[in-house]
């Protein structure tokens, strides 16, 4: 958290975060336009500080490097001090991204990344084990064989279908790609399924978890609902893996 507070203490860095909030996935050249009095090297230095604090993640698409806002560190601050007194929801946040080899070639519409004090195996189990998902994924139980082409379903406590879809690809303890179709809201259901990619990678003393959402219009209800829901789901998974406890709602 020291790195986060140090990063946001500078007004130029806050301006860069604001710029990414309003238009995520900008390149260095685009971000330089928001600080016209600063050299390109100066903007790069600020971005390195933001990346070091985990507030910005990057992804290279072709020859361009895109920058994404990462709300996880801010969410962790909220969970520590603010959430006792305020509503435990996160407002719509723009996408974030970590550079991960083997990910989808298209630029994600939204990316959510965090680092968890747990093993790759523990986090993979939390994603794919229904006994685990009921503890953090809005009390839904996941069901699938995890074979490419197989169905995936999220069921409510009463057995009702909350969401379903199809497994596109699955590399155990590494990468899961699926089509995810929300069924809990008629408007979301009408907008159709989205493509999600869950990536787990060893990051030394921690494990990185990244959730990508692809091919979704940013002005859609799906984008708004999912970007608001990812922080809650991932924070719940993180709490479960690190403490064995269910995050209070």
- Residue ranges of domains in the chain: 2-82, 110-243
pLDDT tens-place string over residues 184-224: 999 999 999 999 999 999 888 899 999 999 888 888 999 99
Q: Would you say 148 and 169 are in contact if contact means Cβ atoms under 8 Å apart?
A: yes
Mean pLDDT, to the nearest integer, of 16-25? 88
Q: Within 10 Å of residue 146's Cβ, how many Cβ atoms?
A: 15
Q: Tokens standing for 213?
A: 């959402």
Outline where DSSP puts E strands in the chain. Answer: 56-61, 64-69, 110-116, 141-144, 151-155, 161-171, 175-182, 194-203, 206-214
Cα 112 to Cα 209: distance, rounded to the nearest angstrom:
8
Confidence of residue 158 (pLDDT cuts 50, 70, 90): very high
Q: Within 10 Å of residue 149's Cβ, how many Cβ atoms?
A: 9
Residue 137 pLDDT more than 80?
Answer: yes
Q: Would you say 249 and 89 are in contact if contact means Cβ atoms under 8 Å apart?
A: no
Cα 134 to Cα 155: distance, rounded to the nearest angstrom:
9
DSSP string, 32-44: HTTSTTS-HHHHH
pLDDT, residue 185, reads 93
* Average predicted confidence (pLDDT) for the chain: 85
CATH 3.30.530.20 fits 110-243, yes or no: yes
pLDDT tens-place string over residues 58-117: 988 888 889 998 877 876 776 666 554 444 333 333 333 333 334 444 578 888 888 999
Q: Would you say 175 and 155 are in contact if contact means Cβ atoms under 8 Å apart?
A: no
Pairing label, strands 161-171, 151-155: antiparallel
pLDDT tens-place string over residues 27-56: 999 999 999 889 999 999 999 999 999 999
- To the nearest 10 degrees (0 to 180), the angle between helices 221-243 and 120-128 is 130
Q: Which CATH architecture best describes the domain 2-82? A: Orthogonal Bundle (1.10)
pLDDT, residue 24, reads 87
Pairing label, strands 110-116, 64-69: unpaired
User: H or E element: which one contains 108?
Assistant: none
Outline where DSSP puts E strands in 9-107. Answer: 56-61, 64-69
């Amino acid at each position: 958290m020291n790195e986060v507070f140090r990063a946001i203490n500078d007004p130029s860095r806050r301006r860069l975060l604001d710029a990414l909030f309003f238009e995520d996935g900008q390149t260095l050249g685009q971000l330089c336009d928001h600080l016209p009095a600063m050299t390109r090297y100066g903007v790069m230095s600020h971005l390195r500080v933001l990346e070091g604090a985990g507030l910005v993640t990057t992804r290279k698409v072709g020859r361009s490097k895109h920058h994404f806002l990462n709300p996880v560190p801010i969410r962790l601050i909220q969970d520590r001090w603010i959430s006792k007194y305020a509503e435990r929801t996160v407002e719509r946040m723009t996408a974030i991204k970590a550079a991960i080899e083997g990910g989808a070639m298209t630029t994600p519409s939204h990316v959510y990344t965090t680092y968890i004090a747990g093993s790759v195996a523990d986090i993979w189990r939390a994603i794919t084990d229904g006994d685990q998902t009921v503890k953090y994924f809005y009390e839904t139980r996941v069901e699938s064989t995890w074979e490419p082409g197989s169905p995936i379903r999220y069921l409510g406590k009463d057995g009702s279908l909350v969401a379903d879809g199809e497994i596109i690809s699955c590399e155990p303890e590494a990468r899961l790609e699926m089509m995810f179709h929300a069924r809990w809201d008629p408007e979301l259901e009408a907008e159709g399924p989205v493509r999600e990619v869950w990536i787990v990678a060893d990051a030394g003393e921690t494990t990185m978890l990244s959730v990508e959402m692809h091919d979704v219009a940013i002005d859609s209800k799906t984008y708004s609902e999912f970007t608001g829901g990812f922080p809650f789901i991932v924070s719940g998974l993180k709490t479960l893996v690190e403490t064995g406890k269910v995050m209070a709602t």
